[in-house]
């Protein structure tokens, strides 16, 4: 029933048709030329532009990333430096304060010591002067007392005898 012989032997499947070849060529060339102008040109340029745009966007993004990383690194460096700086300042301030305190206390102590010693000196001086005064007073008093006693018991004859005996003694002893 299925006359496969017709398909193969009639040669109609492979029969040349110059008219169809002509029309195919003409149609295809016209379509090619029109589409090249109307469609492929704009589409391909758009595709290329987009490709370039995407590439440049990627490049820009990487660039921005690098920049951001550099900025971040710089910032953290700055931060670390600032931290160190503030630490140093605080430490210095503390040191200075300590030093100042010790200085002040030392100075105060020295001052106090000095005042104390001065006071002691003065006291000593006063004491010495008072003693001197006392001594002269006592000596005066003693002299006055002795004068009074001596004045009361003084006897010219008796004294003369004593002095004579003494001269006697001296002259005998020299011999």
Give the nearest distance from C-beta 58 to another protein in angstroms: 14
47 binds another protein (CB under 8 A): yes
Distance of CA 80 to the CA centre of its chain: 12
Six-digit token string for 92: 């210095």
Give the nearest distance from C-beta 63 to another protein in angstroms: 19
How many amino acids of this chain bind another protein (CB under 8 A)?
41
Six-digit token string for 137: 């007073």
Site for another protein in 11-40 (CB under 8 A): 12-14, 16-25, 27-28, 30-32, 34-36, 38-40
DSSP state of 13: T
Six-digit token string for 109: 């102590």
Please say which residue, 41 or 145, places its beta carbon nearer to another protein.
Answer: 41
Sole residue written with tokens 């040669």: 11
What is the four-CA torsion angle of 88, 91, 95, 100, rounded to 10 degrees? 90
Which residues would be at the binding site for another protein (CB under 8 A)?
A: 1-7, 10, 12-14, 16-25, 27-28, 30-32, 34-36, 38-44, 46-47, 49-50, 53
């Amino acid at each position: 029933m299925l006359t496969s012989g017709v398909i193969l032997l009639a040669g109609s499947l492979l029969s040349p048709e110059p008219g169809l070849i002509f029309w195919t060529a003409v149609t295809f060339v016209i379509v090619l030329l029109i589409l090249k102008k109307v469609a492929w040109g704009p589409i391909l340029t758009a595709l290329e532009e987009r490709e370039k745009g995407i590439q440049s966007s990627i490049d820009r993004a990487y660039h921005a990333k690098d920049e951001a990383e550099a900025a971040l690194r710089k910032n953290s460096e700055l931060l670390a430096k600032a931290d160190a700086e503030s630490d140093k300042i605080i430490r210095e301030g503390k040191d200075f304060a300590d030093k100042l305190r010790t200085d002040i206390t030392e100075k105060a102590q020295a001052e106090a010591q000095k005042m104390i010693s001065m006071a002691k000196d003065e006291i000593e001086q006063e004491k010495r002067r008072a003693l001197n005064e006392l001594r002269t007073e006592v000596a005066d008093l003693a002299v006055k007392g002795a004068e009074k006693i001596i004045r009361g018991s003084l006897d010219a004859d008796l004294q003369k005898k004593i002095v004579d005996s003494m001269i006697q003694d001296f002259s005998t002893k020299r011999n």
